[in-house]
Structure 1
Amino acid sequence: MATTAFVVRDSAGLMGSVALGAALSGGQYAWTLPFAWLSFSFFAPAPTSTPMQVATWMLLPPGAAAGTWTALALTVVGTAAYAVAGPRR
């Protein structure tokens, strides 16, 4: 079972990722950015460095700072991009 903090963090980050995907490639392909990122996370090397922790933020435990900050950044940037540009047509 996942903790509430894990679910909230990942849901917020994925929402921002989908919003960013919609702004970049349109609503029809908005799912590709979060799907590709999650797919990469499964095959990436162990997250021992900060860049790898950022790349695998979805799989980090809820207390990991890199995971929390990456999710927060994706939420803010994705929501702002979607609010300003809307979905690409």
Structure 2
Amino acid sequence: MRWTALYARSRHLTVALAAVLLCAAVLPLLLGDSWSTVFATVTLGAAVAVAGVGLSGQDLDLDRTASFRWPPRRLTHLLVIGVVAGGVMLAAQGLADLPIDSSWILRDVAGLLGLTGLAATLFGGQFGWTLPMGWAMTAALVPKAVGQAYDVVAWPMATADSAQAWWVAGLLFVAGTAAYTMAGAHR
């Protein structure tokens, strides 16, 4: 179990957990009646993004010399981020009676998690926050007047029953988790 404690320390998991709780639980409760899909998208993006910063350690060369296989641990780390962010958001929905569908939360967590994995693989773990936070903020600003493309470009803001949004989130999830699991964070 010693490697687990070292892994948690090197990835700043306690700070990430506190930040996820702050983003996904406290913000919805503070916003109360002004809670909307826009705030939910940005909040969920922030919750996934802050935990994504820990997807790499301080010394990637040291990580690569470990005597165990990294892919299962990378996949587990990424999935735990999604479970915690989504679970906390679902719990906040129940506590404050907020009008966000649980399938919407599941879809957005999956897509944002994939973006986090892609960002860590392409830019490094310290920049794992860039793609999920950037796409969440962009989606909040895209006008609905763009028609059919809205569900593709602004998939985090689309309704829970949008097939296009589910496809985009699913593709991002598969691509991001596969890239991060196999390659790890960029140097």
Map 1:28-43 to 2 at 5 A: 28-43=126-141
1:2 to partner: Cα distance? 1.0
**TM-score, structure 2 length as denominator?**
0.45
The two structures, once aligned, show a CA RMSD in angstroms of: 1.1
Cross-structure match for 1:75: 173
Q: Does 1:49 align with 2:148?
A: yes
Tell me how many residue pairs correspond in the alignment: 88
Query: Separation in 1 of the partners of 2:113 and 2:153?
Result: 16
Q: Which amino acid aligns with 2:166?
A: T
1:10 to partner: Cα distance? 0.6
In structure 1, the gaps of 5 or more residues are none
Cross-structure match for 1:24: 122
Following TM superposition, the consecutive aligned residue runs of length 4 or more in structure 1 with deviations greater than 3 angstroms are none
Cross-structure match for 1:59: 157
Query: Separation in 1 of the partners of 2:137 and 2:154?
Result: 10
* CA deviation map 1:13-63 (0-9, x unaligned): 11111011100111101001111111111222324123x321100001110
Match of 1:4 among 102, 123, 132: 102
Q: Which amino acid aligns with 2:124?
A: G
Task: Among all aligned residue pairs of Structure 1 and Structure 2, give the percentage whose two residues are the same amino acid.
Answer: 38
**TM-score, structure 1 length as denominator?**
0.91
Query: Separation in 2 of the partners of 1:15 and 1:43?
Result: 20
When Rg is computed on C-alpha atoms for both structures, the one with the higher figure is 2
